[in-house]
Amino acid sequence: EDQVTQSPEALRLQEGESSSLNCSYTVSGLRGLFWYRQDPGKGPEFLFTLYSAGEEKEKERLKATLTKKESFLHITAPKPEDSATYLCAVQGGGSQGNLIFGKGTKLSVKP
């Protein structure tokens, strides 16, 4: 069964304090791994797609990496506006190709 586990559940950082969020996955035939940002009371907003181990994507202070078992979302010198819940999802060969989501990591960045 396809499964996605995100850790930690919550992360509190000081502004400028870099850290990483983890997404571990079990999937039959990974087609893609997706990172989303979700602000309170809003729908998820797409950040990155990763397809194969070793791949990296960057956007401003965010960098996503992928191995055969997990993905990391690295946040460099975060700002308060980076506070949000970050969701990881995988698309495998099963489940009709539907995305399987993790529970998310709630990030709080204090000034």
Partner 1 sequence: DGGITQSPKYLFRKEGQNVTLSCEQNLNHDAMYWYRQDPGQGLRLIYYSQIVNDFQKGDIAEGYSVSREKKESFPLTVTSAQKNPTAFYLCASNPRAGLTNYGYTFGSGTRLTVV
**Given the complex with partner 1, which of 18 and 108 has the nearer CB atom?**
108
Residues near partner 1 (CB under 8 A):
4, 9, 31-32, 34, 36, 41-46, 49, 87, 89, 91, 96-99, 101-104
Minimum CB separation from partner 1 for residue 102, in Å?
5
Nearest by Cα to 23 from 74, 96, 81: 74
Q: Which is nearer to partner 1, 43 or 111 (CB)?
A: 43
Q: Who's near 42: CB < 8 A, 6+ residues apart?
A: none
Find the largest Cα–Cα distance for the chain: 44
Under 8 Å between Cβ of 54 and 76: no
Tokens of 55: 């791949």
Query: CB of residue 98 vs partner 1: minimum separation in angstroms?
Result: 6
Nearer to partner 1, 66 or 89 (CB): 89
Question: Is there a contact between 92 and 100 (Cβ–Cβ < 8 Å)?
Answer: yes
Q: Which is nearer to partner 1, 31 or 79 (CB)?
A: 31
